[in-house]
Amino acid sequence: MKTKIITLLLVGVLASSCEQTKSEMKTNFDHTFTHTVFFWFKNPDSQEARDTFEASLTKFLNNSEYAKTKFIGKPPRATRDVVDDSFTYSLILSFESAEDQAAYQEEPPHMVFIEECEDLWEKVIVYDSEGIQQ
Contact partners, residue 94, CB within 8 Å, separation at least 6: 29, 30, 31, 32, 33, 34, 35, 67, 68, 69
pLDDT on residue 31: 77
pLDDT on residue 28: 60
**Eight-state DSSP code of residue 41:** E
Residues 8-12, mean pLDDT to the nearest whole number: 36
Are the CB atoms for 89 and 123 separated by under 8 Å?
A: no
pLDDT on residue 132: 86
pLDDT on residue 127: 96
* Strand pairing report for 33-41 and 70-73: unpaired
Q: What angle do CA 102, 107, 113 make, to 5 degrees?
A: 110
pLDDT digit string (tens) for 13-70?
Answer: 334 433 434 433 334 666 789 999 999 999 999 999 999 999 999 999 999 999 998 9
Q: How confident is the model at residue 4 (pLDDT cuts 50, 70, 90)?
A: very low
> Positive or negative, the Cα torsion across 125, 44, 113, 26?
positive
Task: Give whole-number Cα distances, 18 to 4, 9, 13, 69, 111, in Å.
Answer: 21, 14, 9, 20, 39
Residue 96 pLDDT greater than 70, yes or no = yes
pLDDT on residue 30: 67
Residues 83-89, mean pLDDT to the nearest whole number: 93
